[in-house]
Amino acid sequence: MFSLQYNSPLGIITIVEQNSKVVEICFGKKYTSELINTPTPLLETAAKQLDEYFAGKRKYFNLPIEPKGTNFQLKVWNELLRIEYGMTKSYKDIATAIDNPKACRAVGQAIHNNPIAIVIPCHRVVGSNGELTGYAAGIDIKKGLIALENS
């Protein structure tokens, strides 16, 4: 697996590629023995698209992604991809959209485990009352991403 450390306005982001697909985008530096810190063409494309996103010029990502998770998690993450730039949905909205309206907590867990932040926009999910709720990278980063999309 190859990785690239990307300096975003909200802090360092690690982008990970495996088999010519983006498999992880996470806030913070990530070091494991499996990762080779080498910029590949795909990682450079991902960084360029993140640059455009943070500059307010990109609303949709065009990257080959392959998140790793359970069938339920994949279903939730695919639904997150349907949330438009600058919009939000609640955990209940997501649970209902995947035909499992009582699975709000499970949806929350799947969102917490989203391996491809920003591209799979888990930051666009809020509480039923519209309040910002937890975010794996921290609520301040979630606020920053939502503010960026609403500016």
What's the pLDDT tens digit per position in 113-145?
A: 999 999 999 999 998 887 888 788 889 999 999
Cα separation, 106 vs 112, in Å, equals 10
Question: Which pLDDT score, from 0 to 100, does residue 115 have?
Answer: 97
Cα separation, 146 vs 9, in Å, equals 13
Question: Token pair for residue 115?
Answer: 């391996």
Q: Report which of 142, 95, 103 is spatially closest to residue 122, judged by C-alpha positions.
A: 142
Q: Token pair 């360029």 is at which residue?
A: 48
Q: What is the mean pLDDT of the chain?
A: 94
Asked if 61 and 51 touch (Cβ cutoff 8 Å), the reply is no
**Residue 14's CB: how many other CB atoms inside 10 A?**
19
Q: CA angle at residue 122 from 66 to 147, to 5 degrees?
A: 130
- Does residue 122 carry a catalytic annotation? yes
From the list 4, 10, 122, 146, the catalytic residue is 122
**Full-model pTM:** 0.93
